[in-house]
Structure 1
Amino acid sequence: MAQFDDIDRRILAFLMEDARRSFREIADEVDRSAPTVSNRVERLEELGVIRRFTVDIDRSALSGTNRSLLTVSTAPRTASALGSELADHDAVEHVFRGVGGKVVATVLMSSSDLEYLLSDLSEEFDTADWSVEPLAESKWHPQLGGEDAFGLVCTICGNTISEGGETVEVDSGDRHAVCCSSCATAISEQYERLAAEEETP
């Protein structure tokens, strides 16, 4: 498995700055060929580092509705389900889940629609403590972090992957980057177990 290097880091930085940049433009910046940049971007996509190319839209400028900050304190065991419920809603822009059971989301909807949403979710998550406040401003600038923090993380154990890393492709076609052969075996077994559970009536 190829290592991440400064070229990968620079390619990602250019794409984060403007995802519409052509591979030719990026190639000129990183002193490589456009096909090399294309191959590296494809590899980063296959490994799940690049999930998608998207447009950053200020929906409040289009709809005139209110942007609010929703903060929910709930039991840690229900925080994941609550976060998923919020993320599935069209009017929710971002969802963050802390390790202690706190969920924070930015929501773009009218006050009456927000009340309806909270009423609906309060029935399912009846022990949660809800707080809503108007959002005055939001800034979103994803960063790669320092050079020492740049590296692919093992899907199984969370270790940074070094030269001995492997890529495992499972039956679904998904690829997972792992740090060693034991983690490769573990993820294969995990998928086999899940597939067997799905087949069991």
Structure 2
Amino acid sequence: MAQFDDIDRRILAFLMEDARRSFREIADEVDRSAPTVSNRVERLEELGVIRRFTVDIDRSALSGTNRSLLTVSTAPRTASALGSELADHDAVEHVFRGVGGKVVATVLMSSSDLEHLLSDLSEEFDTADWSVEPLAESKWHPQLGGEDAFGLVCTICGNTISEGGETVEVDSGDRHAVCCSSCATAISEQYERLAAEEETP
């Protein structure tokens, strides 16, 4: 499996800046051919580095409703479920979950709708502490990080993948990047075990 390199990093940076940029434009910037850029983007998609291409919309400009910052302190064991509940709601834009049980979300809805949402969630998560405040400003600038932090991470052990890395394709068609043959075996066995469990009546 080819390692990530500076060309991959630059391609990602250009796409993060403007996902509508054509492969030909990016190719000119990175001094490669358009088919090469296309192949690299496809590989990054297959490996799950690029999840999707999307549009950044300011929904408050369209709806006229309020954007609020919701902060919830709950038990760490229930934080994941709470985060998922919030993320499933159409009016919730971003959800962040800390390791200590804190969940923060940006919400775009009227005061009365927000009150109903909190009332419903409070019944399910009755030990949580809730805090809501109007959001004065929001900035969102995803970054790749420094060059030292750039690298594909093994699906199994979490190590950064070096030259000896492998790509494993499972029966579902999903591809996983792993750092070594041991992790490749581990993920194959994991999927085989899950498949066997599904077949068991």
Q: Decide: shared fold, TM above 0.5.
A: yes
Cα deviation digits, residues 107-150 of structure 1 (max 9, x gap): 10111111111111111111111111110000000000000100
How many angstroms apart in 2 are the aligned matches of 1:135 and 1:103? 16
Secondary structure at 2:106's aligned position in 1? strand
Q: Provide the C-alpha distance between the structure 2 equivalents of 1:157 and 1:9, rounded to a whole number of angstroms.
A: 23
1:195 Cα deviation (Å)? 2.3
1:153 aligned counterpart, secondary structure:
coil
Pairs aligned (count): 201
Quote the sequence identity (%).
100
What do the CA deviations read for 1:81-105 (whole angstroms, capped 9, x no partner)?
Answer: 1111111111010011111111111
Q: Counterpart of 1:48 in 2: which secondary structure? A: coil
SS at match of 2:3: coil
Question: What is the alpha-carbon distance in structure 2 between the residues aligned to residue 116 and residue 195 of structure 1?
Answer: 41
**Within 2, Cα distance between the matches of 1:119 and 1:200?**
41
After superposition, the C-alpha distances for 1:37-79 in whole angstroms (9 at most, x for unaligned) are 0000000000000000000000000000000111111111111
1:60 and 2:65 matched: no
Aligned CA distance change for structure 1 residues 145 and 191 (closer, same or farther; 3 Å)? same
Q: Which runs of 4+ in 1 moved over 3 A?
A: none
CA distance in 2, matches of 1:47, 1:150: 15
Partner of 1:41: 41
The aligned counterpart of 2:153 is 153
Shift of 1:192: 2.1
Over 3 Å counting, the alpha-carbon distance change for 1:197 and 1:75 in structure 2 is farther
Per the normalisation by structure 2, the TM-score is 0.97
Tell me how far apart the structure 1 counterparts of residues 59 and 136 of structure 2 sit (CA, whole Å). 14
For each residue in 1:130-189, what CA deviation from the matched residue of structure 2 results, as whole angstroms up to 9, or x when unmatched?
111110000000000000100001111111000011111112111111111111111122
SS across alignment from 2:19: coil
Residue 172 of structure 1: SS of its match in structure 2?
Answer: coil
How far did 1:193 drift?
2.3
Secondary structure of 2:177's aligned partner: strand
Structure 2 residues without counterparts, runs of 5 or longer: none
Establish whether residue 180 from structure 1 lines up as the match of residue 169 from structure 2: no
Q: Alignment partner of 2:113: what SS?
A: helix
State the secondary structure of the residue aligned to 2:133.
strand
Superposition pairs of residues 80-91 of structure 1, within 5 angstroms: 80-91=80-91
Between the aligned partners of 1:187 and 1:83, the Cα distance in structure 2 is 27
Coordinate RMSD, CA, aligned: 0.9
In structure 2, distance between residues paired with 1:138 and 1:159: 33
Report the secondary structure of 1:177's partner residue.
Answer: strand
Structure 1 window deviating more from structure 2 (179-188 vs 153-162): it is 179-188
Distance (Å, rounded) in 2 between the aligned partners of 1:64 and 1:200:
52
